Amino acid sequence: MITSKIIANGILRAITIIVLVALFIFFLYQIQSVLIYLVVALILTLIGNPILDFFKKRLKFKQTLSTIVTLVIFILIISCFVLMFIPLISTQGQNLSLLKTSEIEKNLNQLLNQSSAFLESYHIDSEKMIKEANIASKINFNFIPNFLNSIIGTISSFGMGLASVLFITFFFLKDRLLFVKGLKKLIPDSQEVKIIHSLHKIDHLLSRYFIGLLLQLSIIFLLYLIVLFIFGIPNPFIIAFLCSVLNIVPYIGPLIASALAAILTMLSNLGNDFQTEILPTTIFVLIGFWIVQIIDNNLSQPIIFSKSVSSHPLEIFLVILIAGFLSGILGMIIAVPFYTILKVIGKEFFPEYKIIHLLTKNI
């Protein structure tokens, strides 16, 4: 018989659980920076594992020495990027018109007027429409310095964050076997083989994925750089780097990168004739970027998505699309790694289901 005491205890237990969950979520929110450090360190660990294994197996280095050499390689790569881009940004940043909102508004108005004159030459009455719309005056350009201030704040804490990430990565790489042994003590004996095998498989697939992703972005960066050099666009390193990083976001990123390249190309050619110089150059740059995307979509992405994580390109496309609807851009970025983890878990623990067997037959 259910008494008032039992009901009260049930309500009290439910309230306690809700409070504890809320406190846990609040705690995670408060330490979100630490969680980001851990995630970045884990990604670096997955990338560094094959490098560390190479030094251990091929060069017969000890575990600690292999870890140190792997971290030194990471530091050298990061240093090269910093040394390459910081001087360019500091000396040529004003040429990109990123610091003066009044200059941006002036340049956009000039660009709109030139576009209007070009359309007028083809008897398209757009000048009146553009001026009445007064687009530039309706855009709040104050968000740009605010955005830059946030970037500067991020850069100022970059040193501490980088040191923390590298410190965590060092122990992830050095003591990964120790972590596995500790995990074995926590998991039930009946599930130990499946869980350990799943972790090894996930580590292997994600390591291949992130290394492939770095290779893909490097190829895209070089191809973008070649396109920008061919057409003499100022600040090609910065533009190519920004546009290649945007490719981390599947499908949407390349579109944003093309739009960004077109805008920066037009702004960098202000003062020249719109019809004979600005417009043709922008079109040629866009064509170059689209050719790069064709190369990437038909060579780089199939290698990464199909071979590195053993998934069909259509399967990956649908996963990314669903993740985009559910969680936006962040969901699209983490869709492939998260889906890979789910596939490995499904193969190890639920192989009797036909749909899981079909999806995981290549793993």
Q: Averaged over 285-289, what is the pLDDT?
A: 91
Mention every residue, 6+ apart, whose C-beta is less than 8 A from residue 168.
37, 38, 41
Instruction: Give CA angle at 37 (178, 304), nearest 5°.
Output: 85
* pLDDT tens track for 44-67: 888 888 888 888 888 888 888 999
pLDDT at 96: 46
Rg of the Cα atoms in the chain: 26
Which pTM was predicted? 0.68
Q: pLDDT grade, residue 226 (50/70/90)?
A: very high
41 vs 105, 201, 215, CA distance in Å? 41, 19, 19
CA distance 279 to 353: 57
* pLDDT tens track for 110-168: 666 766 666 666 666 555 555 555 544 554 545 445 544 554 555 556 667 788 888 99
Q: pLDDT grade, residue 84 (50/70/90)?
A: low
Name the DSSP class of 271: T
CB atoms within 10 A of CB 102: 9
Amino acid, single-letter form, for residue 350: F
